[in-house]
Amino acid sequence: MGPRQRCPYLEQIIKERAGPFHWLTRYKADCHVDRRVHNFTGRRPHPPCITDPTTCGLYREAKADEDHQISRYTD
């Protein structure tokens, strides 16, 4: 696994313990693209926001829009 990359559209992410006996981990990710808070819960969750943003549909859509705007000015 390569170096982890953080999503540039991530405003904040909070890591907290959850569940009985605090065995679970919950990440609350505040996404700038859709202005919602996404929850990832599990023993060892791997949110795409901090592991691999290219797997997130919101990231791909926002990046494609930015690339399209940039290409309009470079052509």
Residue boundaries of the structural domains of the chain:
10-74
Compute the distance between CA of residue 56 and CA of residue 14 in angstroms, rounded to an integer. 18
The answer to whether residue 4 scores a pLDDT higher than 80 is no
Give which of 13, 20, 21, 7 is closest to 45, Cα–Cα. Answer: 13
pLDDT in tens, 39-54: 999 998 888 888 889 8
pLDDT for residue 23 = 92
* Rama region for 47: left / alpha / beta (φ>0; ψ in -120 to 50; rest): beta
Contact 48, 55 (CB under 8 A): yes
E-only strand ranges, the chain: 10-18, 24-31, 36-42
